[in-house]
Amino acid sequence: GAVVSQHPSRVICKSGTSVKIECRSLDFQATTMFWYRQFPKQSLMLMATSNEGSKATYEQGVEKDKFLINHASLTLSTLTVTSAHPEDSSFYICSASFAGKNIQYFGAGTRLSVL
Amino acid sequence: AQSVTQLGSHVSVSEGALVLLRCNYSSSVPPYLFWYVQYPNQGLQLLLKYTSAATLVKGINGFEAEFKKSETSFHLTKPSAHMSDAAEYFCAVSETGGGKLIFGQGTELSVKP
């Protein structure tokens, strides 16, 4: 149980285009979802926290207009990287948790490469 | 503010040897502590968690960790390393368990045949 699916696993796009990444909880209702960014050989940095039906809470230094997060249902959150540039290339990972369970379940990650 | 420090960005052991990955934390409240493993180009898999119950926590794949409040440590151990244990390991702390996680820098474990 507690499976989180992230799609796509890899995406290559041209500079200036927008990319959407989906994060789905397959067998539970995720009251909270998290989006992380990971640079090569580095740790995970939390970008934002989203609760279903509410606006996401962004960490300091993360541009909310650049990284649009939508958590429209209890099983789906999306991260849209708008007007992507090469410096946005990274590994993006989502996670989800639900009330009463004190852990986060992680997706497999999305490798974004912006040319 | 919470923080996590993992001592040693890279640890190398021989197959069958003891694995010891170090983690020290800082927290103003009783913490929830976690160890996650990450294989290349994959997400994180939970190895074990501490949630104020038993101080010695047993996880998957033969790993365990001991919470030592006096030392603010939560070191991860495994008696006998296997080649499949080679991966990146992250220690993390949270105030609320299912809430915001603060990760350590990660430790890459290599296992030599």
pLDDT tens string A80-113:
999 999 999 999 999 998 877 778 899 999 999 9
Closest CA to B87 of B101, B106, B102, B64: B106
DSSP helix, strand, coil percent of chain B (3-state; round to 5): 10, 55, 35
Q: Give the per-residue pLDDT at A89.
A: 96
Q: Give the per-residue pLDDT at A1.
A: 66
Chain A residues within 8 A of B34 when measuring between CB atoms:
103
Token pair belonging to B21: 């990955």
* Phi then psi dihedrals of residue A87, to 5 deg: -70, -10
Q: Who wins on pLDDT, B79 or A54?
A: B79
Closest CA to B105 of B2, B9, B22: B9
Sign of CA dihedral A90, A50, A5, B76: positive
A28 close to B (CB below 8 A): no
Average pLDDT value over all residues in chain A: 91
For B58-86, what is the mean pLDDT? Answer: 95
Name the DSSP letter for residue B110. Answer: E
Mutation site, B44, B51, B107, interface A, largest A CB count within 10 A: B44
CA distances from residue A19 to A104, A108, B64 in whole angstroms, order as listed:
24, 17, 40
Question: What strand order describes the sheet that includes A4-7?
Answer: A4-7, A19-25, A76-81, A67-73
B104 close to A (CB below 8 A): yes
Please name the member of A43, A49, A105 whose beta carbon is closest to the beta carbon of B90.
A43
Residue B59 burial (CB < 10 Å; 0-12/13-18/19+)? Answer: middle
For A51-63, what is the mean pLDDT? Answer: 90
Q: What is the dihedral of CA A100, B65, A5, A10, to 10 degrees?
A: 150
B59 close to A (CB below 8 A): no
B46 close to A (CB below 8 A): yes
Residue type, A98: F
Give the pLDDT band of residue A42 (cuts 50, 70, 90).
confident
Chain B residues within 8 A of A42 when measuring between CB atoms:
105-106
Average pLDDT value over all residues in chain B: 92
Residues B81 and B14 sit within 8 Å (Cβ to Cβ)? yes
